[in-house]
Structure 1
């Protein structure tokens, strides 16, 4: 006998709001003008954009720019377009179904499938947290000379910082993230001006080049860029934090929320594209142009920036941006960890316990590698973490696209035909690219 669904379109009924401690805590003016409403919805997009400019992007973008010049700009552009579509679906799922993606998976799939998806997602979050730790550790070494091993231990304190700001209110977290993003933007604006890139090669690089697919090394880096740009945990995160807004849970209220949340998300991801592209452009304009095509290491990049650009501030701004990037990603990565565990398992741990678990899962491998292999090993680990994220991406995208295209779940908010085709096309492309990556990696052609 088929089990009766307890709510329309879902196997189980959702019993707890996502991130219940901050659910519907940010007021949205109902009678005010457009700009005040947009300001009320500004914030979640910035938290999502953080995942698109984390330290994992640095390793892949630096390697891509140094080795292939501006050619892989097209990969960043396409990945960012994919991200805009997928994040729109994520926020729409959260607003319409009042579930984050983890809760939606639990309420739709069997317990066994949900458990497998949870394990895969936890692996991805650990990989993401690993990238954040390595980025922060390298920045601390560059700025303050702190040894790699000690830097790994210091990153454990990040948990306390996040807890402090969440207890102050969700707007405080968003404000901290905005300040750190502004810091990254200022730093890279200085680097771009100093590197004096060529305009026409940049414009040419935005157009896809068939050589990307023919060269196994450029293809490998492209998959890494895709994994670093479209972050699987961001889909879970966005579907949750958009529910921190206190909009009317009515048809009209949800339409309004989707409209302003999509504007916030798109503008924030456009900013992330600029920063992502800036990293690759700086690498191409300095390292590739000077013949340093083998630069794939953040530490080497820092050492070469000052003599090539002729400014002592170049290295300082580079390290400062890296530190801001690592800290920003820590804020969003640990929030995503809490959302995923609570959503899939329907249990609520104290935030400090959940975040300590997440951080320890990443600190242990980072500590082992830093002791055994040193700086070079941590950089290799950084790139590997992005490949793991890219492989896991399919297991987050397929449920998201499926749920938002299901009329029983979304009602009148179901994806239109163009959005359905676009989202499934993106899904198929990502799945195929990851299959190629696995084939390429295990056959050792790279």
Structure 2
């Protein structure tokens, strides 16, 4: 289909500008969807984007915050992982709804709805979020290479730039191959954590109690800092831009019934994927709580330190090896998502189209420089703090992606017949308010020391 085709329902009247180029035009509507027949083949055609989005649960930065939270506070922050998962499901469903209804991704929607005085700052904030994401991936992948193969962190940071070759190759084969890689890596990570948790043997009654709400998270500044890091690593700003772009790789029809069907299958895909990723996200924290907190190791932050402790605490060599394999898979998988998100954000906000390799090189260079400086100057302890800080930066940027998303999907003029129902708008607005309030509390805490 022509990437410059008009909006699916004509030009919806709520936008200041008409829709121009389609998101990620080289893969736009390249995945065929059966128009007739049973629902199962149709659902299978829509499965994939949700798993790319779920990568946010396993970003290496999330490892740092979850390991720090689990070792320091045990299972207490599991409730944050659960709430973050619910928030992610709601917000990603809105992201898909925006794409299917308007034919725009979130970046294009911001460009077409706001004046430049608003859209340009939003673009800069989105780019900052992607750099923070990429920074976590650079550090996490470098640590994974170091743990498995003994490659020095400084060299590992440079090697991470080469993943662009893998992404380019898979994009040439087709978008489905890229999704297949992510699903395969997810499977490897799930197996690795399943085995490690069986070695750690957590007290499952305590794990269940960890999902109960507690006021400590808000009243304890250190716990709130880590909680926001987990929130930022789970409900990532770039995921909202990414999902609204890659949903449109599916060649669904232009009629309202076909779009409603596409929304149903897309929401199912993202919900199932995020629930599966919930297992991974919670597993990181459970492993840290069971292996470190219960044995008195309350200040574990560095991934390398966690790797070394697993060997002595759980016994044998298999647990730390699985830890390193899972970390390396996370870094590679997150690189795929960040590359596509960066491309969608730049093209959507600025209508500038760069080759994927150039976009990847630019993004990675911005992330590699601070990662290399911190690694050389402060060593592994510095990279651990930088990982956690990157996730808090993501959390602080989240409001600037969530609020426009809720505004757009609540507007009948922009969404037409697929405008979000009142209950969903209300729930999403509550989520946005919680994010703003928690981030405000964090900033006040910083300013007041």
Name the TM-score class by shorter chain: over 0.9
Instruction: Quote the residue 2:448 is aligned against.
Output: 443
Relative to the length of structure 1, the TM-score reads 0.97
Instruction: Quote the residue 1:384 is aligned against.
Output: 389
How much has 1:311 moved relative to structure 2? 2.4
Separation in structure 1 between the aligned mates of residue 221 and residue 374 of structure 2, nearest angstrom: 27
Instruction: Quote the residue 1:3 is aligned against.
Output: none
Whether the 8 Å CA contact 2:12–2:414 is kept in 1: the answer is no
Structure 2 residue matching 1:51: 3-state secondary structure: helix
How much has 1:163 moved relative to structure 2? 1.0
Q: Could you report, residue by residue, the CA deviation over 1:149-184 in whole angstroms, capped at 9, with x for unpaired residues?
A: 000110110111111111111001000111111110
User: Where does 1:76-91 land on structure 2 (aligned, <5 Å)?
Assistant: 76-91=81-96
Instruction: Quote the residue 1:210 is aligned against.
Output: 215
User: RMSD of the alignment, in Å?
Assistant: 1.0
Instruction: Quote the residue 1:361 is aligned against.
Output: 366
347-356 vs 118-127, greater mean Cα deviation: 347-356
73-82 vs 369-378, greater mean Cα deviation: 369-378
Instruction: Quote the residue 1:284 is aligned against.
Output: 289
Gaps of 5+ in 1: 1-5
Q: 1:270 aligns with which of 266, 271, 275?
A: 275
Separation in structure 1 between the aligned mates of residue 429 and residue 63 of structure 2, nearest angstrom: 29
User: Does 1:235 find its partner at 2:244?
Assistant: no
User: Where does 1:1-400 land on structure 2 (aligned, <5 Å)?
Assistant: 7-400=12-405
How much has 1:7 moved relative to structure 2? 4.6
Q: Could you report, residue by residue, the CA deviation over 1:347-394 in whole angstroms, capped at 9, with x for unpaired residues?
A: 111221111111111011111111111111111110110011000000
Separation in structure 2 between the aligned mates of residue 373 and residue 294 of structure 1, nearest angstrom: 18
Separation in structure 2 between the aligned mates of residue 131 and residue 307 of structure 1, nearest angstrom: 27
Structure 1 residue matching 2:292: 3-state secondary structure: helix
How much has 1:120 moved relative to structure 2? 0.6
Separation in structure 1 between the aligned mates of residue 188 and residue 271 of structure 2, nearest angstrom: 20
| 4+ long deviations beyond 4 Å | none
How much has 1:439 moved relative to structure 2? 1.1
Separation in structure 2 between the aligned mates of residue 443 and residue 202 of structure 1, nearest angstrom: 34
Relative to the length of structure 2, the TM-score reads 0.97
Separation in structure 2 between the aligned mates of residue 202 and residue 416 of structure 1, nearest angstrom: 35
Gaps of 5+ in 2: 1-10
Q: Could you report, residue by residue, the CA deviation over 1:108-138 in whole angstroms, capped at 9, with x for unpaired residues?
A: 0001211110011101100000000111000
Structure 2 residue matching 1:59: 3-state secondary structure: helix
Separation in structure 1 between the aligned mates of residue 267 and residue 319 of structure 2, nearest angstrom: 35
User: Where does 1:408-419 land on structure 2 (aligned, <5 Å)?
Assistant: 408-419=413-424
Separation in structure 1 between the aligned mates of residue 175 and residue 201 of structure 2, nearest angstrom: 39
Separation in structure 1 between the aligned mates of residue 104 and residue 172 of structure 2, nearest angstrom: 23
Separation in structure 2 between the aligned mates of residue 442 and residue 298 of structure 1, nearest angstrom: 29
Separation in structure 1 between the aligned mates of residue 444 and residue 321 of structure 2, nearest angstrom: 40
Separation in structure 2 between the aligned mates of residue 76 and residue 311 of structure 1, nearest angstrom: 30
Separation in structure 2 between the aligned mates of residue 242 and residue 394 of structure 1, nearest angstrom: 22
How many equivalent pairs are there? 440
Whether the 8 Å CA contact 2:46–2:269 is kept in 1: the answer is yes
Separation in structure 1 between the aligned mates of residue 53 and residue 273 of structure 2, nearest angstrom: 8
How much has 1:8 moved relative to structure 2? 1.2
